[in-house]
Amino acid sequence: MFMKVNRRWLKVFLFTLVVAFICGSVIILTTSKNPLTAIRWFCLGPVSNTYFLGNMLSGSIPLVLTGLAAVIAFSAGTFNLGLEGQLYFATFCATIVALHLEGLVRSFSIPLILFVAFIVGGLAAAFSGVLKILFRVDELLSSFLIGQALIYIADYFLNGPFRDPFAGLSASKYISGSMMFSKILPPSDLHSGVFVAIAISVVVYFVLRFSNLGYQIKVTGSNHDFAHYGGIKVHWVWLVALFLSGGMAGLGGTIDVLGVHGRMMKGFSFGYGFNGIAVALIARNNPISVIPSALLFSYLEVGAQVSSIMADVTPEVSKIVQATIFYLITAESLADFLIGKKVAAHGR
């Protein structure tokens, strides 16, 4: 039975993929003077050499983690729209800690930095959970608003006390190279953080699928009245899920900094949070499917970049395509309908 469901998911995914590329091509056709080369670079650029391939893979890492973050929150029936801010603030804090960690062994410092990011991101998200439970504040709004505020707070410090005076933009100092993930496919950005991301997806998959906590999350997410009735502590589950969600977001940004940028830069993560939500929607809340979905997003991003370097296309193409996909999957039933499945009936 699970196989069947997966095959169905695959169909929807392929459908999304085809639509994405058709849609991208159409946009290029209408804007480019030399559309054929541009389309070729857009569609095949990311796999045309190891440099682009590596960048594509490394670009998907933060999306995998924010995707997982969204999956966890959705599964418990909560909405975490603050991923963007949680990620940014947690990464900022983790970077500050990393800057003070000179001279520690690597196998100790990296986990410590990630741990800090996880806790900070988690607490930021869990705070919205507390508001939801104590004051019935909708976590969808509060997480978003708090997230935005956290971005400004982090930016203030990044521009002020923690700014590297020698940097041309607002950014922190560089983290010592001994605390960075090692590169895998130089000169591309791909780094060993990719294994961390894969491992975390697998862990999240198993936890959601087979653990007590996963059961509680699924029951609460599917019907919280039923969960409460069955004796599950719904409030607690919400808090834990939001905490884990924020934590994942924090990891996403920090792994990106430790692997690619080497320092915290203003606006480095723009879009990771919201794209993560789209990734989770495409993955239909399955932690394993998050990986291909994140790859798709990253592929579009890199494809657009490549074709803007190689031809006369603006890199914003990827944004438009992503937006189109977002609309398509939000109107989920459309995809269902088009691949020949009957529309869900109402009532029973």
Q: Which residues bind other proteins (CB under 8 A)?
A: 1, 210-215, 218-219, 222-223, 225-233, 342-343, 345-348
Q: Which residues pair with 191 in a beta bridge?
A: 183
Cβ nearer to other proteins, comparing 83 with 244: 244
Which amino acid type is present at position 234?
V
Least Å from the CB of residue 68 to other proteins: 19
CA nearest neighbour of 43 among 63, 24, 19:
24
CA distance 147 to 277: 15
Cβ nearer to other proteins, comparing 26 with 232: 232
Least Å from the CB of residue 226 to other proteins: 4
CA distance 95 to 226: 42
Least Å from the CB of residue 217 to other proteins: 12
SS3 171: strand
Least Å from the CB of residue 228 to other proteins: 7
Quote the Cα angle for 8-11-17, to 5°.
145
Least Å from the CB of residue 116 to other proteins: 25
Cβ nearer to other proteins, comparing 152 with 215: 215
Cβ nearer to other proteins, comparing 100 with 346: 346
CA distance 330 to 121: 27
CA nearest neighbour of 313 among 71, 18, 40:
40
Phi, psi of 171 (to 5 degrees): -155, 160
Which secondary-structure segment (H or E) carries 307?
helix 290-310
Least Å from the CB of residue 275 to other proteins: 27
Cβ nearer to other proteins, comparing 134 with 345: 345
Cβ nearer to other proteins, comparing 43 with 207: 207
